[in-house]
C-alpha cells in the first residue's frame, strides 16, 4: 500500500477518503462503470468503520480488536460475506446497546453507541442481500460484482 493511503485512513473523514478514491479512479484507465460503484461502496463501509474508529471499537472480521483504520482493514471488510456479517453485527449491537459478536473487552463493548446503518443497509439491499435473515444467501452475481469493486479499490490504494 502507498504511504499516502495509510495517512489518509488515519486522519481523514469519510468524504475525504471517498474523494481521493474518486479522483484516483479518474486518473486510471478504468471503465466508467466502476466509478458508479466505488463511491457508494466506500461510503457504505466507511459509514460503519469510521464510527467504530471514533468509538475506539474497531475490530476485524474475526472479531479481534484493531487499533487503526487502515486500507487493509477496509479490504478485509470488503469481502461480501464479511460486509454482510458487519451489518448484522452492528444491527444486533444497536438493538442491544452494546457491541456484540467481537472479542473486544466487555467493558469497552458496554460503551458502544448506536451506529446508523442506512448507507450500508441501502448498499447491501441494492445487491440483493436479505437484511432480515442473516442465514439467507445472496446471489453469486452480486458477490462477483462486489469482488470487482473491491479489486478496483485495492488497485487505487496501492
What is the structure's pLDDT at 13?
Answer: 93
Q: Distance (Å, rounded) from C-alpha 89 to C-alpha 5?
A: 27
Any idea what the Cα angle at residue 54 is, between residues 111 and 61, rounded to 5°? 80
Residue 56's pLDDT is what? 96
The tens digit of pLDDT for each residue in 61-76 reads 999 999 999 999 999 9
Q: What percent of the chain has pLDDT over 70?
A: 100
- List, in sequence order, every residue forming a beta bridge with 59; answer none if it has no partner: 65
Q: 30: pLDDT confidence band, cut at 50, 70 and 90? A: confident
Q: What is the pLDDT of residue 6?
A: 93
Q: Decide: 78 and 150 in contact? Cβ < 8 Å.
A: yes
At residue 141, the pLDDT reads 81
Any long-range contacts for 121-124 (C-beta under 8 Å, 24+ apart)? 121/87, 122/44, 123/40, 123/41, 123/44, 123/45, 124/44, 124/83, 124/84, 124/87
Give the span between the Cα atoms of 120 and 141, in whole angstroms.
19
155, three cell numbers: 488497485
Mean pLDDT over each residue of the chain, to the nearest integer: 92
Give residue for cell 470487482: 148
Among 57, 53, 58, 49, residue whose Cα is nearest residue 109: 57
Q: Structure pTM? A: 0.93
The pLDDT score that the predictor gives to residue 112 is: 98
- For residue range 99-120, what is the model confidence (pLDDT) as tens digits? 999 999 999 999 999 999 999 9
Looking at residue 143, its pLDDT comes to 84
Residues 41/34, Cβ–Cβ less than 8 Å: no
Mean pLDDT confidence for 20-36 = 88
Mean pLDDT of 6-32: 91
**Is the per-residue pLDDT at 136 higher than 90?**
no
* Three-state secondary-structure class, residue 59: strand
Amino acid at each position: 500500500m502507498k504511504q499516502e493511503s495509510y495517512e489518509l485512513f488515519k486522519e481523514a473523514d469519510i468524504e475525504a477518503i471517498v474523494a481521493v478514491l474518486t479522483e484516483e479512479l479518474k486518473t486510471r484507465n478504468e471503465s466508467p462503470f466502476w466509478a458508479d460503484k466505488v463511491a457508494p461502496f466506500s461510503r457504505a463501509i466507511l459509514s460503519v468503520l469510521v464510527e467504530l474508529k471514533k468509538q475506539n471499537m474497531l475490530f476485524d472480521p474475526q472479531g479481534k480488536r484493531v487499533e487503526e483504520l487502515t486500507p487493509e482493514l477496509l479490504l478485509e471488510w470488503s469481502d461480501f460475506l464479511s460486509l454482510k456479517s458487519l451489518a448484522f453485527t452492528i444491527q444486533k449491537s444497536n438493538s442491544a446497546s452494546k457491541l456484540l459478536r467481537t472479542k473486544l473487552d466487555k467493558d469497552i463493548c458496554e460503551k458502544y453507541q448506536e451506529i446508523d446503518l442506512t448507507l450500508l443497509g441501502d448498499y447491501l439491499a441494492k445487491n440483493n442481500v436479505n437484511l432480515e435473515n442473516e442465514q439467507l444467501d445472496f446471489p453469486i452475481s452480486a458477490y462477483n460484482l462486489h469482488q470487482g469493486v473491491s479489486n478496483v479499490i485495492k488497485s487505487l490504494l496501492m
